[in-house]
């Protein structure tokens, strides 16, 4: 249930922010993006992927940066294909 997952990932995001855990915050954004992608909310997923990329770059998380860039690339392609149909 992706809606339920989103609720949990939002709680994860709040906890990470409260703890000033930027890596955890980035992972929460990544998870939120994946859940929104699964629901077809591509614009919302792009927002979360961009936030994940921003934090990954800030924290030096190279793996997270690559993942975020791939997610953004895939999402941009999907959005572009939808707008052309």
Kindly report, residue by residue over 47-63, the tens digit of the pLDDT.
999 999 999 999 999 99
**Structural domain that includes position 67:** 2-84
Distances (CA, A) of 64 to 16, 75, 85: 16, 16, 32
Q: What is the pTM of this model?
A: 0.91
Q: How many domains does the chain have?
A: 1
Question: 23-46, pLDDT tens digit by residue?
Answer: 999 999 999 999 999 999 999 999
The domain that holds 69 is classified in CATH as 1.25.40.10
Which helix or strand (DSSP H or E) is residue 82 part of? helix 62-84
């Amino acid at each position: 249930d992706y809606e339920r997952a989103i609720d949990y990932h939002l709680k994860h995001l709040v906890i990470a922010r409260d703890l000033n855990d930027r890596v955890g915050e980035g992972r929460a954004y990544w998870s939120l993006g994946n859940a929104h992608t699964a629901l077809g909310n591509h614009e919302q997923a792009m927002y979360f992927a961009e936030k994940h990329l921003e934090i990954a770059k800030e924290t030096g998380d190279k793996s997270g940066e690559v993942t975020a860039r791939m997610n953004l690339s895939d999402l941009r392609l999907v959005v572009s294909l939808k707008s052309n149909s």
